[in-house]
Amino acid sequence: MSVEQRNVLKLCHDRLSVQEVVDAVNSDSCGATAVFIGTTREDEVNGRKVVGLEYEAYKLMAQTEFVKVCADIREYWPAVVHICVHHRLGWVKVGEASVVMAISSPHRHDSHQAIQHCISQLKAKIPIWKKEVYDTQEVSWKENSECSWSLHSEVHEENGNLSE
């Protein structure tokens, strides 16, 4: 029995629904759904407390790269049926989900491994950027060292000034 595979990427400013993501990958042919929820965490950087994150994305390129990530996942785990990723844009306060993803497959092994690969590839290849906002009202764009275009050195923007 053949099931049509689904790839869903949603970039939005609204709070994310874990149930909506899980429902998007639900299938009678799948006995496993792996879920990853990435939450904005309270962190301290140089004596400043992170109060939230601000996300931006290049939406058209993000969709194109997401299709490539899904093809890559299916090459390594052909049993994967559905892939769904919802990512917040704009302001995300501490404690809220920044990303929710789910992958379904007939057996847990494939979906568990694929979900780990998916979050790694999302960070490395999908053009979504984040800026930390601190309790001091200062901000800092955060480089993701997993990105292929990364310079592997943090570049900061604090109060409108760039520094390394």
Residues tagged in the binding site annotation for substrate: 107-108, 123, 130-132
Measured in residues, the chain has a length of 164
d(CA 30, CA 76): 18
Residues whose CB falls within 8 Å of the CB of residue 79, separated by 6 or more in sequence, listed in order: 105, 106, 107, 110
Q: Residue 43 gets which letter from DSSP? A: -
d(CA 119, CA 143): 16
Please state the φ and ψ torsions of residue 23, each to the nearest 5 degrees: -60, -35
Binding residues: 107-108, 123, 130-132
SS3 116: helix
